Amino acid sequence: MPMLRPLLALLLLSRLAVAQNSLPPPARLDSAAHALSVAEFQRNLNHEFSDPKESPLSAAERQAFQSLSYYPVGYGYYVVARLVRDSTAAPFTMVTSTDRRPLYRKYGTLYFILAGQPQQLSVYQSLDLLQRPGLEDYLMVPFTDLTNAHGSYGGGRYLDLRLPPAGSTILLLDFNRAYNPSCAYNHAYSCPVPPAENRLRVAVPAGVRD
């Protein structure tokens, strides 16, 4: 019975979302297709780190660069999440790794099952990106977990998301796409610090390593 509890919780989560939605939930990739999509994500990220226009690495580091270090792809870290929007949250200044304090707002909360336990993470929207064409639907999930400084970067990692279609409250959350902030590689960058409310009390050995 204990093994059934996470599955039942996930089933109830999905049913609740479908009941609240006018749209069907997004299709979850099977394990083979998911592994291919993560491999593509890793190739694109490695390419970004090799590109002098995008890379946070120095010229010498780029010359020696071959690939970031990744955890093995874990299908269990690709989960269905229910988004509860927060229409009342006021803009706030996000703490960063420098003195910069950009404006963000809490867009909502994601509820999901991970490591057999109910979890939640706040998702944020940059007010600056709202003014940039093509990025106005960008959402950010900065988080920490029990791997920080024990396999992953000590300052936490990020997940990028896009707004779901109007009327939908379901997102697919893939921790295999978790990546390090640029300031993990270059202190000249100013990076948002994951807020205390986004501290997961489980290990997430997925995505980019330290």
Q: What is the pTM of this model?
A: 0.85
Environment class of 112 (CB within 10 Å of its CB; exposed 0-12, middle 13-18, buried 19+): buried
Q: Retrieve residue 100's tokens.
A: 């910069």
pLDDT on residue 165: 81
Give the pLDDT of residue 168.
83
**Distance from C-alpha of 152 to C-alpha of 71, rounded to nearest angstrom:** 9
* Mean pLDDT taken over the chain: 88
- Looking at residues 95-104, what average pLDDT do you find? 93
Q: Give 161's strand partners.
A: 139
Q: How confident is the model at residue 87 (pLDDT cuts 50, 70, 90)?
A: confident
Q: Evaluate if residue 45 carries a pLDDT over 70.
A: yes
Q: pLDDT at residue 140 above 60? A: yes
Report pLDDT for 2. 45
Mean pLDDT along residues 108-132: 93
Query: Which pLDDT score is estimated for 123?
Result: 96
pLDDT interval class at 25 (50, 70, 90):
low
